[in-house]
């Protein structure tokens, strides 16, 4: 399973009532509340074995599946 597919699946677990795969303003549009965002950050770290520093927690890294995938790939290397 690709990183992007894993990110999509994780978003479906966190927000099962909304398909966020094509959304480009997930954070700025208010699709996730602060609890859901913190859960997402923790689970991304656990699933991919990465540490997401406070500096990385900006809307640009979480507004879309593509942005999250790029951040995860960057932090994995």
Q: What is the mean pLDDT of residues 42-54?
A: 96
Q: Tell whether the model's pLDDT for residue 13 goes beyond 90.
A: yes
pLDDT band at 43 (very low <50, low <70, confident <90, very high): very high
Residue 49, CB half-sphere, CA atoms under 13 Å: how many? 2
What's the whole-number average pLDDT of the chain?
96
Domains of the chain by range and CATH? 3-76 (1.10.1200.10)
**Selection from 40, 21, 42 nearest residue 32 by Cα:** 40
Q: Tell whether the model's pLDDT for residue 77 goes beyond 90.
A: no
User: Model's pTM, two decimal places?
Assistant: 0.93
Q: Tell whether the model's pLDDT for residue 10 goes beyond 90.
A: yes
């Amino acid at each position: 399973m690709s990183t992007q597919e894993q990110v999509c699946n994780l978003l479906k677990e966190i927000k099962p009532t909304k398909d966020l795969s094509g959304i480009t303003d997930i954070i700025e549009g208010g699709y996730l509340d602060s609890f859901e965002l913190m859960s997402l950050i923790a689970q991304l770290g656990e699933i991919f074995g990465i540490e997401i520093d406070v500096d990385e927690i900006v809307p640009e890294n979480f507004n879309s599946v593509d942005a999250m995938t790029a951040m995860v790939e960057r932090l994995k290397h």
